Structures are given as structure tokens and as C-alpha cells.
Amino acid sequence: MIPPQEASARRREIEDKLKQEEETLSFIRDSLEKSDQLTKNMVSILSSFESRLMKLENSIIPVHKQTENLQRLQENVEKTLSCLDHVISYYHVASDTEKIIREGPTGRLEEYLGSMAKIQKAVEYFQDNSPDSPELNKVKLLFERGKESLESEFRSLMTRHSKVVSPVLILDLISGDDELEVQEDVALEHLPESVLQDVIRISRWLVEYGRNQDFMNVYYQIRSSQLDRSIKGLKEHFRKSSSSSAVPYSPAIPNKRKDTPTKKPPKRPGTIRKAQNLLKQYSQHGLDGKKGGSNLIPLEGHEHDFRVKHLSEALNDKHGPLAGRDDMLDVETDAYIHCVSAFVKLAQSEYQLLADIIPEHHQKKTFDSLIQDALDGLMLEGENIVSAARKAIIRHDFSTVLTVFPILRHLKQTKPEFDQVLQGTAASTKNKLPGLITSMETIGAKALEDFADNIKNDPDKEYNMPKDGTVHELTSNAILFLQQLLDFQETAGAMLASQVLGDTYNIPLDPRETSSSATSYSSEFSKRLLSTYICKVLGNLQLNLLSKSKVYEDPALSAIFLHNNYNYILKSLEKSELIQLVAVTQKTAERSYREHIEQQIQTYQRSWLKVTDYITEKNLPVFQSGVKLRDKERQMIKERFKGFNDGLEELCKIQKAWAIPDTEQRDKIRQAQKNIVKETYGAFLHRFGNVSFTKNPDKYIKYQVEQVGDMIDRLFDTSA
């Protein structure tokens, strides 16, 4: 059982908790009542607010709608007024722009184009909205007048500011390809930058809005004239330089000039300049003797020796006395070569200018028209060169044909640039240069073949033969001509190959030696073809010299003549590089010439037999020492001395007037002959000098051995 005290305590505790719970419950009830009251108040307030909002909305919405309508009406009014102003402005365009159009675009292009834009819009408006209105005709007329003014301004700008390119600037432009040192590129300013921009804007407007292509014709006509005049000016520059004895500035020599060109001599293709001058001198007489032959006075003795010596020196002297004179004689050739290079550079520059001004789809056609006059002028001049060469061949003046070689070589070297410049032009334009190259190759091949034939068929004329037996002009002509081919081996080989001369020379043509082009051959084949040609010329020359040598009545002089010519040929071949070219097809050529030379020396030496035969052992009388000579024996000894003396004097007198230009050969022949005669005469004199065969020994023993040697030392020397 729970004790009473503990039960009483628990009851009091429970009662206290119950009392607390009742108080809490009473607080909650009070709070709920207050909350309900607040809720009722809030609902009442919200209901009142909703009612007021509804009243406000019912009042504002009509006002808003009315305001919106008013704003729309205002916008419509403003748009209507703006449209009216815009339309009205079209009616004022003519009056507002007429003064500007009348005064033209000069100096005010921006403003002028702005006015033209206004006029164009007016035209479009009236065409769409009022096609029958008089205002349309007015603005149309104004637009056409403005367009004509723009066309006139385009022509005026191009005419006033397109200047001929000076020769000095062109030469600087060309020199950029040949200079070894890096330098600033030479730029051509055909038009000032401001003018160029105006021209570009006008051209674009005319294409886009003017629907006009006539300005393109104006453009190419003006620029074509300037291009043609620039090239002609360069040619005239060369002519004036030649007439004033000044060497024209040439791009062939690197030049670091800035403002004023340094006049340096143009680069010469080998020795062709000197040889042309010399060959002109000879060709005036004609290799076949048909022209001027009666006026040719053969040079004698050392006069001819002097000529041959200087001809030989001229072949290798690039700075000799002939150089300046040849520069002047060949100014036309130099001018043409430079004009070809100038055309390429100027045409490239013209296309760059044209690309900025002319619409892309019209550029090729306009450029084709632009370059025609200058290109036709170059081609015509080239054909004139071919024609002159053809006439020269008929006259057998082969020096003129030599001008074709450097020109043809330059045309071939320039052809890739030509082809690049002419891309997109008409086929007839592209084919002009290849046609000229073909013509030059054909005439060159004709000249080479005719030259070989003339060497073979040059007649034997006594008055044309050197009286001293020195080198014949035919030989010097042939060697001079052949030496020019060294600097033009590929060009000359191509000339021969272009005519399919391989069959003529029996050279098998390997398909690998040709490209797709019928006239493009390998350098090795061209070299063999040229070597064969040179051998043919030398063979023809040798046969002709043999024939000419028969003109001489004296076999010894004939031998000296052949010796001199063979020796001149051999030394010329060796001095140049012709011998290497000949060796391509004739390995034994050098040995063969040496054998011919030695053979002629032996033939010459036989001329002394009629002198030495008098005193040789086999022809001497036999007698015993100490025994008195009989009259017959004494007479025989006298005859031997007299025959030797007379023969020696006669030969020395005759042969002293002969010439052997080569000092080494002259000394060799003299020494060999001196040794033979001195030895024979010494033995004879030793045997009979002390024999009493006459009362007057001085009459027969006229010369001592050393005197005989001295006389022979004076052979081939007219000054002795």
C-alpha cells in the first residue's frame, strides 16, 4: 500500500498540472478568438480593397483605350507628314541638284555622286508612282547629263594624269631582274593616288548605276597610247644616246642608282658586236664574189698580217677600240631587246592598274585591246628584222643575220613572262610571239645553211687571193661567224633542230631528246647538231681552200697559203671553245689539222730542193785530193756555186714577200729550213772552199754559212 502522505503528495501534484493545463487551454481559446476577429477584419479590408480596385479599373480602362487611340492617330499623322515631305523632296531634286550637275564633278566628286544618287532615287520614284509626270522627264534628263559629265570627267582624269613612262624609269624597272644585290622594287605610279581613287569610284558608279561600258573603251584607248608611246620613247632614247656618242643606260649591268642613272655599257652577248662590224666589211664584197668583188684590194705582206692579227685579237677583246663603235652600230638590236623586256614589265603594271578600275569580267578583253598597238609594233619590228635578214641572205650579207641570234635568244628567255602576261587574252594575241620566234628560227636556219653553202662555193678569183699567201678573208669570215655561235649554242642548235636538220646531218633523233613541242630539243641533241654543222662548215672551208691554193703558180706559195689558213683555223678553234664543240662529233679534228699543217710545211721545204740539189753530195764531182782539177771539173764546181747562189738569192727575194702571221710557226719554219741549208752548204763549202777551181773565188763563194742563215732568217719579213 502507498503511504497516505505519498498519495496526498501525488494528488496535489496532479491537481497542479491540471490547473496549469486549464490555464493553457484558456489562453489558447482567447488566442483563437482574437485570431478569428483579426481574420474577419482582414477579410473585410480585402473585400473593401477589391471593391475599390474594381471601381478604379472600371474608371481607368476607358481612359487608356482613348489615349492609345490618340497616340496611334498622332503616329499616323507624323508618318503622313513624313511621306509628304519625302514625296515633295523628289519634286525639288531637280532644282536642288541642277547647279551641281551643271558645274560638273571636277574637284567635288563626293558631292557630285551624292547629287547623282538623289537624282537616281527621284527617277525611280516617278517611274514607279507617276510615270507620266513631267518631273520624271526632267530628272531623267538631269541624270543623263550627270552621267555624261562623269564619263567626261573619267576621260579627262585619264588623259590629264596618264603620263608616258620615262626611259630611265623603264630601264630601272627592267634592271630589277638582273641585279645581284637586293634593292628596293621600282614601282610605277601611272596615276596619282587621289586621282586613282576618283577614277575607281567613277568607273564603279558607271558600271553599277550608269549601265555604261563605253568608259572601258576610253580607258584602253588612252592607256594603249601611253604604253605604245612609252616603248617608242625607250627606243628613241637608245637612238639619241647613240647619236650623242653616249652609251645608253642598260639594265644588263647592276646599278644602285637612286635618282640619276649611271650610264654603263650594256652587256654584250659574246663577241657578236665586233664580229658584225668586221663581217660587214667583208660581206660587202660578198663571199661569192657577186658584190663589190672588183673593188677589193688584197692586202699584201705584213699589211695582211696586221689585219689578221687584229681580227684575231678583236675576237677576244671585249673592251677594245671596236667596242664603242659596235655599241653604236648595234643600238637598234639593243633597243629592240630592251623594248621587249619593257613591254613585259609595262604590260604587267598596266594589268595591275586595270584590275582596280575595270570590272573583273571585262578585264581580260580590255587588257587584250590595250596591249594590241604596242604588241603589234614589237611584232612588226621583229618581222622587219626577219625580212631584213632574209634580204641579207639573198645578198650573202650574213653579218646582218647575226642580229637575229641575240634577239631570238632574248625572246625565248622572255617567253614564259610573255605567256603569263597574256593569260586570258585571245588566241591570236597569244600566238604572236611564238609565230615570231618560229620565223626567226626559220630564217636563222636558212642563214646557217646558206652560209655553209657559200663557204663551199666561194669562187677562186686571182685578184681576191692574198699575194703573200696569208690567211684568206674567207677563212677569217668563216671563223668569225662560227665563233659567234659559241655564245648562242642553244639558239643556233634550236634553229637547226627547228628545220629537222638532224636527217640532213645523219644524226639519229631519239624521242627522248624532244619534248611535246616540235621545236623543243634537248641541249645535248642541239649541241651534237651544232657540232655537226660547224664540222660541215670547216669541211667546206677546207675543200675551198684547197681549190683556191691551186690559183698560185708556185707550189711553195700554195703550201704557205694552206699552212697559214690551217694554222689560223686550228689556233682560232683552240683559242675559243670551238674545238670542244667540234670534238663532240669529230674527236680527231685537232690532230687532223696538225697533220695538214705539217704536210704543208714539208711541201714548202721541197721548194728549197732546187737550191740544195746543186750542192748535195750525190751531185758533186768525184776527184782525188792533191790532183789538179780538169777544166770540166772546175766548170762543174763553178756551176754548183752559181746555181746555189742564184737559187738562194731568188728564193730569198721571193719568199721575203710572203707572210706567216704566226710568230711561232714562222720561227719554226725558218729554223728548220736554216738548219737544212746551212748543214748542206757548210759541207759543200768545207769541201770546195779551199779548192783551186777559179782564179776569182769571190765571184763564186759569195756567202759564208752564217750569211746564208741570216738570209733565211729574213724570210717572210717585208721590212727586212
Q: What is the pLDDT of residue 633?
A: 81
pLDDT band at 401 (very low <50, low <70, confident <90, very high): confident
> What's the rounded Cα separation, in Å, for the pair 498 and 522?
12
Q: What is the pLDDT of residue 81?
A: 62
End-to-end CA distance of the chain: 188
> What's the rounded Cα separation, in Å, for the pair 311 and 697?
51
In the block, cell 645523219 appears at: 506
Q: What is the pLDDT of residue 300?
A: 36
pLDDT value at 295 more than 50: no
Let me know: does 138 contact 94? Beta carbons within 8 Å. Answer: yes
Kind plus residue range of the DSSP H or E element containing 463: none
3-state helix, strand, coil in the chain (%, to 5): 75, 0, 25
How far is residue 266 CA from its own chain's centroid? 13
Let me know: does 502 contact 525? Beta carbons within 8 Å. Answer: yes
- In this prediction, residues 169-178 reach a mean pLDDT of 78
pLDDT band at 125 (very low <50, low <70, confident <90, very high): confident
pLDDT band at 693 (very low <50, low <70, confident <90, very high): confident
pLDDT band at 277 (very low <50, low <70, confident <90, very high): very low
pLDDT value at 200 more than 70: yes
Q: What is the pLDDT of residue 506?
A: 46
pLDDT value at 324 more than 70: no
Average pLDDT, the chain: 80
Q: What is the pLDDT of residue 622?
A: 66
Q: Which set of grid coordinates corresponds to residue 452?
A: 655553209
pLDDT tens sequence across 214-224:
889 999 999 99
Q: Which set of grid coordinates corresponds to residue 426?
A: 585571245
pLDDT band at 303 (very low <50, low <70, confident <90, very high): very low
Question: Where does 499-549 have alpha helices with state H?
Answer: 523-549
- In this prediction, residues 1-5 reach a mean pLDDT of 76
Residue 74's CB is within 10 A of a number of other CB atoms, namely 10
Q: What is the pLDDT of residue 397?
A: 85
pLDDT tens sequence across 522-534:
678 888 999 999 9
Q: What is the pLDDT of residue 292?
A: 33
pLDDT tens sequence across 532-585:
999 999 999 999 999 999 999 999 999 999 999 999 999 999 998 899 999 999
pLDDT band at 450 (very low <50, low <70, confident <90, very high): very high
Q: Is the pTM of this model over 0.95?
A: no
Tell which residue, 486, 471, 659, 485, has the closest CA to residue 570.
Answer: 471
DSSP 8-state symbol, 608:
G
pLDDT band at 500 (very low <50, low <70, confident <90, very high): low
Q: What is the pLDDT of residue 241?
A: 78
pLDDT band at 708 (very low <50, low <70, confident <90, very high): very high
Q: What is the pLDDT of residue 82?
A: 67
Question: What is the sign of the dihedral through the CA atoms of 8, 13, 16 and 17?
Answer: negative
Let me know: does 225 contact 241? Beta carbons within 8 Å. Answer: no
Q: What percentage of the chain has pLDDT greater than the value 70?
A: 79
- In this prediction, residues 20-35 reach a mean pLDDT of 91
> What's the rounded Cα separation, in Å, for the pair 466 and 301?
8
Query: 293 or 426: whose pLDDT is higher?
Result: 426
Q: What is the pLDDT of residue 661?
A: 92
Q: What is the pLDDT of residue 459?
A: 82
